[in-house]
Amino acid sequence: MLIDSHCHLDFPNFAEDLDQVVARARAAGVGAMLTIGTTLAKSAQVIAVAERFPNIWASVGIHPHEAEAEPDVQARTLVELSRHPKVIAIGETGLDYFYEHAPRDAQKANFRAHIQAARETGLPIIIHTRDADDDTAAILRDEVAKGEFPGLIHCFTSGAALAEVAVELGLYISFSGIVTFKTAANLREIAARVPAGRLLVETDSPYLAPIPHRGKRNEPAFVADTAKVVAAARGIGTDELAALTTANFTRLFTKANVPAALAA
């Protein structure tokens, strides 16, 4: 069984056929999914998706693109939202200097508030970082010094140095369909070296469909294609990769009752 550790099932792209999307994921061997919050204003609709299905959970948070639209987020707000039984993570949050849809100072403040919430709740923080490796590493080191917290860097596209920092600080690393792209040999090398106990896979759907689905709407079923490439990079079988990443998901997202969800 595989788990899609990061998707956006509340997005309009899935409004017409969500039941079929979830069914196709099951048929492809994807037993569970984590649908991700990107704004506090839409937390209710993200959670509502998770409530519909026993094998789907949710996170709550503010994407760095939205850091200016929803400023001054307080950790206590995130903590309160996380009390819902289907909410198992904080985020996504982090830094994005590629698009810079929000000022860097606002992104950094947003990131730190989410880290505080993760520290207080014990729930993993889901980190988005793009073209911001140095600042991401600096904030993570600074915040870990204040007290440890669980988490992962999702849709990893950074360099080996940030991967090493993440592992050093106890974080997990998740790979999306980007790792299947012909131009992503460096990512496959990093995926091959990530410690077995820190590895996850995801779709980030509806975006970033892996080969052979490029150009299509991405969906959780396609995480199986990403898993095949990561398994090949590591020199293991896809069944072993599936068992490994599912065990890692269960260990990181301790609030999720994975066995019960799959039996339902």
pLDDT digits (tens, 9 = 90+) for 215-258: 999 999 999 999 999 999 999 999 999 999 999 999 999 999 88
Q: What ranges in the chain are assigned the alpha helix state H?
A: 18-27, 43-52, 75-81, 104-121, 133-146, 160-168, 185-193, 223-234, 238-252, 258-263
Confidence of residue 53 (pLDDT cuts 50, 70, 90): very high
Confidence of residue 264 (pLDDT cuts 50, 70, 90): low
In this prediction, residue 20 carries a pLDDT of 98
Binding residues for a divalent metal cation: 6, 8, 92, 128, 154, 204
The structure tokens listed for 207 are 């975006």
CA distance 155 to 168: 18
Binding residues: 6, 8, 92, 128, 154, 204
In this prediction, residue 257 carries a pLDDT of 83
Domains of the chain are: 2-263 (3.20.20.140)
Can you tell me the mean pLDDT for 127-149?
98
Q: What is the mean pLDDT of the chain?
A: 96
CA distance 213 to 227: 14
In this prediction, residue 156 carries a pLDDT of 98
Question: What are the two backbone dihedrals, phi and then psi, of residue 166, each rounded to the nearest 5 degrees?
Answer: -60, -50
CA distance 236 to 243: 11
CA-wise closest residue to 89 among 263, 203, 254: 254
Can you tell me the mean pLDDT for 46-57?
97
Can you tell me the mean pLDDT for 2-23?
97
Can you tell me the mean pLDDT for 171-187?
98
CA distance 78 to 114: 7
How many alpha carbons lie under 13 Å from residue 246 in its C-beta half-sphere? Answer: 20
If one counts every other C-beta atom within 10 angstroms of the C-beta of residue 112, the result is 17
Helix (H, G, I), strand (E, B) or coil at 2: strand
Helix (H, G, I), strand (E, B) or coil at 255: coil
Instruction: Record the pTM.
Output: 0.96
Is residue 63 over pLDDT 90? yes
In this prediction, residue 263 carries a pLDDT of 58
Q: Is the CB of residue 201 less than 8 Å from the CB of residue 6?
A: no
